[in-house]
């Protein structure tokens, strides 16, 4: 039997009880990895706990001949993140990869967003991803190898209405991943970003009370969670050793390399600027290259392929 792409690697997948995370965990196992299936089992809003979805994924992997263990901790808690990495090492002898999929939503238009809604979302998507990455980093440094994948969203990369907390966290994740890639390059540790589009229970929360939103949800239904998994698992493999610090957008059968912020156009003025000359010179010169207030669906206008 041919070896898988991640044969004998030990991979922790957070948020792996349902949706994309479950598909990533199952594909990683099918490609030969030993998998820690982490999921608190909370609601989309991050409330409650239920181990049964993650246990179901573990059972599926075992039934297919793979190896997996359940972890029911919350990545928003430092001690839980340390414990899930320790479980990987204690159970399988090492840890080779982390795929941070876990997430919650607390959508609210910005001027009505509460501090609790802000902190809850950042606590999972940004602080939580840091917790898990940091827990794994010490092992990666000592063994001089390791790979991380962190999920972002087009809500951050492009923009969306009513998701300031989510967008801020997801853009923070992009900066986090790039910093990990730079700081840990000397230890042969890689960190990359995947921005997925797929129909999951998060998408099911989008209201469909107008034709545009309803059309958007119907299009999302054609983008299956399992289509995201191959890129995530590939990035865990030794074949991806030259891929680090990148941002990929995946939907259906498409993989897109996303741009990263670089200067687009510049102006200068001998002697410096005043408010008046900024108004008269700088802004008119730069305005043609301003970005409009786009949302994801304004940029990705074609149907998924």
Q: Write the pLDDT tens digit of every residue in 26-39.
A: 999 999 999 999 99
Closest CA to 234 of 289, 288, 176, 194: 194
Domains within the chain, CATH numbers bracketed: 10-260 (3.40.50.720)
Q: Write the pLDDT tens digit of every residue in 9-25.
A: 999 999 999 999 999 99
166 is catalytic: yes
Q: Write the pLDDT tens digit of every residue in 151-188.
A: 999 999 999 999 999 999 999 999 999 999 999 999 99
Residue 219 clears pLDDT 70, i.e. is over it: no
What's the confidence (pLDDT) of residue 205?
58
Do the beta carbons of residue 121 and residue 45 sit within 8 Å? no
Q: How confident is the model at residue 212 (pLDDT cuts 50, 70, 90)?
A: low
Do the beta carbons of residue 186 and residue 166 sit within 8 Å? no
Q: How far apart are the first and last CA of the chain?
A: 32
Q: Write the pLDDT tens digit of every residue in 58-74.
A: 999 999 999 999 999 99
What's the confidence (pLDDT) of residue 216?
60
User: Taking the model in full, what pTM does it have?
Assistant: 0.92
Does an H or E element contain 97, and which?
Answer: strand 97-100
Q: What is the mean pLDDT of residues 93-102?
A: 98
Q: How confident is the model at residue 77 (pLDDT cuts 50, 70, 90)?
A: very high
Q: Write the pLDDT tens digit of every residue in 184-209.
A: 999 999 999 999 999 765 555 555 56
Residue 1 clears pLDDT 60, i.e. is over it: no
**Annotated catalytic residue: which of 129, 166, 234, 249?**
166
């Amino acid at each position: 039997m041919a070896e898988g792409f991640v044969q004998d690697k030990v991979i922790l997948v957070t948020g792996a009880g349902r949706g994309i995370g479950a598909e990533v965990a199952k594909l990683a196992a099918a490609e030969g990895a030993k998998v820690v299936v982490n999921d608190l089992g909370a609601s989309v809003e991050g409330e409650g706990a239920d181990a049964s979805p993650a246990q179901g994924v573990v059972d599926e992997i075992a039934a297919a001949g793979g190896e997996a263990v359940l972890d029911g901790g919350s990545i928003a808690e430092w001690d839980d993140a340390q414990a899930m990495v320790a479980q990987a090492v204690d159970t399988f002898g090492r840890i080779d990869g982390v795929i941070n999929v876990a997430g919650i939503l607390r959508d609210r238009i910005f001027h009505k967003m509460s501090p609790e809604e802000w902190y809850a979302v950042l606590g999972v998507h940004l602080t939580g991803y840091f917790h898990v990455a940091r827990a794994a980093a010490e092992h990666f440094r000592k063994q001089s190898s390791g790979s991380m994948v962190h999920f972002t969203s087009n809500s951050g990369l492009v923009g969306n209405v009513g998701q300031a907390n989510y967008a801020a966290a997801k853009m923070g994740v992009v900066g986090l991943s790039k910093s990990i890639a730079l700081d840990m390059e000397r230890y042969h540790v890689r960190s990359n970003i995947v921005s997925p589009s797929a129909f999951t229970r998060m998408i099911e929360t989008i209201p469909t009370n107008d034709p545009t939103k309803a059309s958007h949800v119907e299009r999302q239904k054609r983008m299956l969670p399992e289509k995201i998994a191959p890129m995530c698992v590939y990035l865990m493999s030794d074949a991806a050793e030259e891929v680090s610090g990148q941002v990929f957008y995946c939907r259906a059968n498409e993989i897109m390399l996303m741009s990263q912020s670089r200067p687009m156009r510049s102006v200068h003025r001998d002697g410096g600027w005043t408010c008046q000359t900024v108004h008269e010179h700088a802004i008119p010169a730069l305005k043609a290259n301003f970005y409009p207030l786009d949302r994801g669906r304004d940029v990705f206008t074609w149907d998924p392929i």
